[in-house]
């Protein structure tokens, strides 16, 4: 009992992460409210910066705050963050919303039919269910621009593969456990993949290389092969095909 109590923490808490970063933890649970507080602090530091902070990285339940130790000491930064936390307001930033076109199945959606069989659903019903959800970008990580999405319908929760595949293409739409994802670059993966989007999630030639950011909302829109090919061609021509919802 004493050991259990000693492991309990009061949140939010600020802990060192090496000699040039602090982590602000908001909870030991993953939920939308916690993630909103993470993003609210990141937004606050972007609009009201602290001198010496060089980068912030939102995660599911914490914010990494990287700093230059030649400009600000960790204990001083911690004090400044404590003060900011006392005035943190959630809900002040309107979430961006994007509709992502998806070609389900075909060459990249290699797990669609197996997943439909596993779930005892038709492929059409699985596609409709996947496309019916409102997803939240909880964090960007693992690879440049890789987006971890919450909101996957429970019926589609599926364990990752026991043996990862060595290469999954960029823009593949995946399912891993309780999460959905959009690949940003070709990489190994144990996720299950059900389609792809013509969108480029990561493009270093853009002013903002990452298409998505933490806090965004995503809806998937099924497209057929002809529309996917047309969108692919538009992307190759350098045209913008993003379907952002007007604020």
Residue 29, pLDDT score? 87
Running DSSP on this structure, what letter comes out for residue 155? G
> By C-alpha distance, which of 62, 60, 65, 64 is closest to 32?
60
Residue 2, pLDDT score? 45
Domains of the chain by range and CATH?
2-85 (3.30.1360.40), 97-244 (2.40.100.10)
Residue 247, pLDDT score? 62
CA 169 – CA 141 distance, rounded (Å): 17
Residue 7, pLDDT score? 58
CA 160 – CA 175 distance, rounded (Å): 8
Under 8 Å CB-to-CB from 53, ≥6 apart: which residues?
Answer: 45, 65, 66, 67, 72, 77
CA atoms within 13 A on the CB side of 164: 10
List, as own/partner pairs, every contact residues 229-238 make where C-beta atoms lie below 8 angstroms and the sequence separation is at least 24, other chains included. Answer: 231/101, 231/198, 232/198, 234/198, 235/198, 235/199, 235/200
Model confidence band, residue 21 (pLDDT cutoffs 50, 70, 90): very high
Please state whether the predicted TM-score (pTM) of the whole model is above 0.75.
Answer: yes
Please check whether residue 165 is in contact with residue 188, taking contact to mean a CB–CB distance below 8 angstroms: yes
Running DSSP on this structure, what letter comes out for residue 17? -
Tens digits of per-residue pLDDT, 123-170?
999 999 999 999 999 999 889 999 999 999 999 999 999 999 999 999
List, as own/partner pairs, every contact residues 72-76 make where C-beta atoms lie below 8 angstroms and the sequence separation is at least 24, other chains included. Answer: 74/16, 74/19, 74/22
> By C-alpha distance, which of 85, 81, 78 is closest to 16?
78
Tens digits of per-residue pLDDT, 175-215?
999 999 999 999 999 999 999 999 999 999 999 999 999 99
Tens digits of per-residue pLDDT, 70-84?
999 999 999 999 999
CA 89 – CA 39 distance, rounded (Å): 10
């Amino acid at each position: 009992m004493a050991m259990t109590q000693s492991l309990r923490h009061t949140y939010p808490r600020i802990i060192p992460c090496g000699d040039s970063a602090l982590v602000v933890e908001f909870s030991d649970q993953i939920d939308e409210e916690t993630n909103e507080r993470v993003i609210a602090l990141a937004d606050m530091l972007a609009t009201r910066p602290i001198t010496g902070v060089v980068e912030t990285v939102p995660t599911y339940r914490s914010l990494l705050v990287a700093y230059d130790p030649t400009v600000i000491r960790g204990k001083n930064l911690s004090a400044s963050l404590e003060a900011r936390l006392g005035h943190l307001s959630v809900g002040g930033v309107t979430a961006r919303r994007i509709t992502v076109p998806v070609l389900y199945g075909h060459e990249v959606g290699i797990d669609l039919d197996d997943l439909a069989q596993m779930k005892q659903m038709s492929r059409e019903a699985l596609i409709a269910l996947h496309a019916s959800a409102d997803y939240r970008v909880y964090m960007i990580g693992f690879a440049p621009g890789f987006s971890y999405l919450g909101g996957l319908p429970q019926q589609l929760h599926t364990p990752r593969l026991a043996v990862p595949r060595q290469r999954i293409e960029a823009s593949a739409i995946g399912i891993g456990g309780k999460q959905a994802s959009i690949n940003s670059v070709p990489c190994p993966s144990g996720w299950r993949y059900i389609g792809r989007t013509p969108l480029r999630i990561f493009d270093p030639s853009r002013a903002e290389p990452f298409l998505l950011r933490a806090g965004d909302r995503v809806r998937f829109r099924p497209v057929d092969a002809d529309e996917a090919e047309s969108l692919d061609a538009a992307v190759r021509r350098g045209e913008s095909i993003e379907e952002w919802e007007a604020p």
